[in-house]
Structure 1
Amino acid sequence: MRPATLSVLLRGAVVIRESATALLANRTAAPVASPPEALKRIAVLIETDSSAGCRMIRGISNYAERHGQWHLLLDPRDHEHRSALPDGWHGHGIIARITSQKQLEQLQARRLPLVNVDDVIDPPSGIASVITDEKALAEMALAHLLDRGFRQFAYFAPPSLDYSKRRGEAFAQHVNAAGYECAVYKPGYRAGRRLGWGERLKRVERWMRTLPKPIGVLAVDANRGRQLSEICHLSGVRVPDDVAVLGGSLDELLCDVASPPLSSINVASERIGHDAAQLLDAMMVGHEPPAYPIEVPPRGVQSRQSTDLLAIDDEEIVDALRYIRQHACRGIIVEDILRQVPISRRSLEIQFRKYLGRSPAREIRRVQLERSRDLLGRRELSITEVALACGFANATRFGVAFKKDTGKTPHTFRKELLAGQRQTTIGV
């Protein structure tokens, strides 16, 4: 993985901790509006019918369990099934996914500490926000597609009031900065307009016919990624052979049942929920909200079959890359590749640098470390078990390689990665 890509996995850690944790660290110096109560009533206006929403709520709950007695009012709805606070509710703070100006005004009228956890609208200054780092997400998405040999890119986000334009803008900017063009889906209608399935299908089909092939497409979220894959299937477009689809968020069910299974960006929803709760806790004892949104980088890319393609026109290099991806975590070396692929070592080195910008040995190590970052998120595995599962002889060698690549030890990386999740003892 590119150094720039690895850096974004960790770039937000210090900023996030300084923005929220530092507020809590200075509680004694801040004015306190009123004596603390034993039980705090917190409204959580985050949908419970989505995977991301549930994970975010889990992060809030985990913080509450460790830092005080909170009663959570979860996902209240009005008679039209819109997220709204009951008239008779009296609480101490609100964490909400704010999706409209009207909702923001209604919540502000409560005159309670408020933390927003989405960027659907641009809240005015004075509204605390903990949101996904879209620049980091865009960089991860582009790196994932580049590593698979794609050099043509597109962004798919049908007009909707459910998400902002920031994800698409960030992705297009990163693609252009890398020297490539990014096609953006523009069907010619505004968000909120209702179209039948057949009409939406026709508009997407027309757009796909204009795209060069093969092409890597970032969909705004898992739901739209699954929709695009389904439309490709109905239109006779092969995924990932013609169009590789990467979802901009993770929804385990949608990604698993998509055909083929959908690769996705693992947005750090639990971390967002945890840090939002931490920030609200500080604000409830009188601290001012931070001047800028706290941005949380995604955890990484969960690769599945929808991007499982090597868009490289050199069959020997494709064979070598496939062998590495299948066997890197068994501890292979370059000589093992040469025994499987009829190519000289010099040619292998030259072609790898031409297509990937790195050596075969570096690609083996990249795959091993990419896998290790995923396994470090599984708290039931010890550091030694992660090291062995990724092809390292022992935890010491793994630790040296990991720190050289990321600047952090596996233990530190795991601690930051699991922030907001239930804590248990993890052996080494």
Structure 2
Amino acid sequence: MSILGRNQLRQIAVLVETDNSWGRNVVQGVADYARKFAQWNLLIDPRDQSQGWSLPDRWHGDGIIARVSTPLHLDEIARSGLPAVNVDNVFENQEGVGQVTTDEHSLAAMALAHFRERGFVHFAYFAPPSHEYSKKGAQAFFAAVTAEEHDCHIYRPGYRGGRRISRDEEHNRIHRWLSHLPKPVAVLAVDARRGRQLAEICSLERISVPDEVAILAGDTDEFLCNLSSPPLSSIEVASQRIGHEAAMLLDRMMHGEAAPSDPLRIQPVRVLARQSTDVLSIDDPMIVQALRFIQTHAFRGISVDDVLREVPVSRRYLELQFKKRIGRLPAEEIRRLRLERGRDLLTQSDLSVEAIAAACGYAGATQFGVAFRKHFGNTPLAFRRQLLRTS
């Protein structure tokens, strides 16, 4: 039964490619919503001979959820006359089409924070020209980096998306770009496939990853990230939730609600740190020692005084260097690590809030809850309930 109490079986086309983790998770989110709240029959990932999706002639449906990446997709949706929700951001603010997509600004801030806590001051963004994704990711990362008064080097090879170039030519263009980047440099790649491509070229050209070039993929594909050498750090985007929210929005639209004028932007979940960013790009051994101590002992209830007993520097020097190199004070770094561990345990375990608070180094659930809400804008229990609604 749908959320609006109707029982009829509806035909829904899910025009999202399922040959990568992101697409499969989006489809899974749609399927989970349909199973729990609606009577839907799903048409999954129909493709024509060109491997682009298209609606079969004999299909007569009630709604569409699609990753819209070309004008042809928009034309097909318009011709269908059906309520539709877009789960990508290549085309935004299309009249009559709902949209649920990743919040690119939150993703950029998460990536930058991951790099900054490792001491990087040089940054770059890698996304070869393509119609598969928009330029909004590059724009958001550039804005985040330059807001902190650092330079951000965008890969611009001088040709447009859709142009076919040889593998060797593409390799040479990327290598030239890498050669001119200041080192060490932290690179955010638009997705796992491009991150792995960058790691392969670094390996062939004997550029050390992560010591010279640290690579973070802008989404997570477990197969590609773990297959890469070294394994790729990646951002876990909430793709299953995107599918769930898209299905919920489509359900409302099929029952007469107008498409929202603004996209629903879903925050990414977390950074999955692997070897490709496992480095501290800091030339002060005392600060490196302090960071390693915090990373090792943050969950044991340590304070800045414990750090100062480990590292023979003054509090003022420690705070100035932390602020300069990672953008946070030592106390803020301890708190950040504790709260991110708390968020991960809320996501991945059934532990009580009290047990999670203890595992993160807090004196009790109340202290943990106050800090969690201040940092994430939600209580631990509310955060977990939100996860359960979309799982």
Give the TM-score band, short-chain normalised.
over 0.9
From 335, 338, 341, give the equivalent of 1:368. Answer: 338
Give secondary structure in 2 for the equivalent of 1:161.
coil
Tell me: CA distance 1:124–1:366, structure 2 relative to 1, closer, same or farther (3 Å): closer
The offset of 1:88, in angstroms, is 0.5
In structure 2, how many angstroms separate the alpha carbons of the residues matched to 1:37 and 1:345? Answer: 66
Q: Corresponding residue for 1:183? A: 153
From 289, 298, 303, give the equivalent of 1:319. Answer: 289
Does the CA contact (< 8 Å) of 1:299 and 1:417 recur in 2? no
Q: Corresponding residue for 2:254? A: 284
**In the alignment, residue 396 of structure 1 is paired with which amino acid?**
T
Tell me: CA distance 1:349–1:106, structure 2 relative to 1, closer, same or farther (3 Å): closer
Tell me: CA distance 1:349–1:37, structure 2 relative to 1, closer, same or farther (3 Å): closer
User: Which region of structure 1 is more displaced relative to structure 2, 357-366 or 68-77?
Assistant: 357-366
Q: Corresponding residue for 1:192? A: 162
User: Which region of structure 1 is more displaced relative to structure 2, 271-280 or 107-116?
Assistant: 107-116
1:390 counterpart = 2:349: no
Q: Corresponding residue for 1:114? A: 84
1:154 counterpart = 2:124: yes
**In the alignment, residue 118 of structure 1 is paired with which amino acid?**
D
Q: TM-score, normalised by structure 2?
A: 0.93
From 14, 22, 34, give the equivalent of 1:52. Answer: 22
- Equivalent residue runs for 1:223-262 within 5 Å: 223-262=193-232
Using CA pairs below 8 Å that are at least 6 residues apart, which structure has the higher relative contact order?
A: 1
Q: Corresponding residue for 2:36? A: 66
Does the CA contact (< 8 Å) of 1:274 and 1:419 recur in 2? no
Count of residues in Structure 1 that have an aligned counterpart in Structure 2: 390
1:210-248 deviation line (CA, Å, top 9, x unaligned): 110111111111111111111111111111111111111
Q: Corresponding residue for 1:20? A: none
**In the alignment, residue 288 of structure 1 is paired with which amino acid?**
A
The offset of 1:358, in angstroms, is 3.7
1:401 counterpart = 2:352: no
Give secondary structure in 1 for the equivalent of 2:265.
strand
**In the alignment, residue 217 of structure 1 is paired with which amino acid?**
V
The offset of 1:330, in angstroms, is 3.2
The offset of 1:397, in angstroms, is 2.9
The offset of 1:122, in angstroms, is 4.0
In structure 2, how many angstroms separate the alpha carbons of the residues matched to 1:94 and 1:70? Answer: 12
Q: Corresponding residue for 2:115? A: 145
User: Which region of structure 1 is more displaced relative to structure 2, 262-271 or 388-397?
Assistant: 388-397
Give secondary structure in 1 for the equivalent of 2:347.
coil
Tell me: CA distance 1:138–1:331, structure 2 relative to 1, closer, same or farther (3 Å): same
Q: Corresponding residue for 2:347? A: 377
1:79-116 deviation line (CA, Å, top 9, x unaligned): 33221111111121110111211122112211111111
The offset of 1:398, in angstroms, is 1.9
- Equivalent residue runs for 1:13-28 within 5 Å: none
User: Which region of structure 1 is more displaced relative to structure 2, 372-381 or 289-298?
Assistant: 372-381
**In the alignment, residue 268 of structure 1 is paired with which amino acid?**
A
**In the alignment, residue 45 of structure 2 is paired with which amino acid?**
D
**In the alignment, residue 211 of structure 1 is paired with which amino acid?**
L
In structure 1, how many angstroms separate the alpha carbons of the residues matched to 2:197 and 2:288? Answer: 29
Give secondary structure in 1 for the equivalent of 2:348.
coil
In structure 2, how many angstroms separate the alpha carbons of the residues matched to 1:288 and 1:408? Answer: 29
**In the alignment, residue 277 of structure 2 is paired with which amino acid?**
T
User: Which region of structure 1 is more displaced relative to structure 2, 395-404 or 265-274?
Assistant: 395-404
1:168 counterpart = 2:172: no
Does the CA contact (< 8 Å) of 1:60 and 1:420 recur in 2? no
Tell me: CA distance 1:183–1:359, structure 2 relative to 1, closer, same or farther (3 Å): closer
User: Which region of structure 1 is more displaced relative to structure 2, 125-134 or 333-342?
Assistant: 333-342
The offset of 1:335, in angstroms, is 4.1
1:364-391 deviation line (CA, Å, top 9, x unaligned): 1211112222222114333233223322
Q: Corresponding residue for 2:242? A: 272
In structure 2, how many angstroms separate the alpha carbons of the residues matched to 1:122 and 1:346? Answer: 48
Tell me: CA distance 1:125–1:38, structure 2 relative to 1, closer, same or farther (3 Å): closer
In structure 1, how many angstroms separate the alpha carbons of the residues matched to 2:359 and 2:128? Answer: 40
The offset of 1:357, in angstroms, is 4.5
Give secondary structure in 1 for the equivalent of 2:89.
coil
Identity, % of aligned positions: 54
Tell me: CA distance 1:258–1:384, structure 2 relative to 1, closer, same or farther (3 Å): farther
Tell me: CA distance 1:238–1:418, structure 2 relative to 1, closer, same or farther (3 Å): farther
In structure 1, how many angstroms separate the alpha carbons of the residues matched to 2:163 and 2:328? Answer: 47
Q: Corresponding residue for 1:89? A: 59
Does the CA contact (< 8 Å) of 1:141 and 1:246 recur in 2? yes
Q: TM-score, normalised by structure 1?
A: 0.86
1:279-298 deviation line (CA, Å, top 9, x unaligned): 10011111111112221121
Q: Corresponding residue for 2:322? A: 352
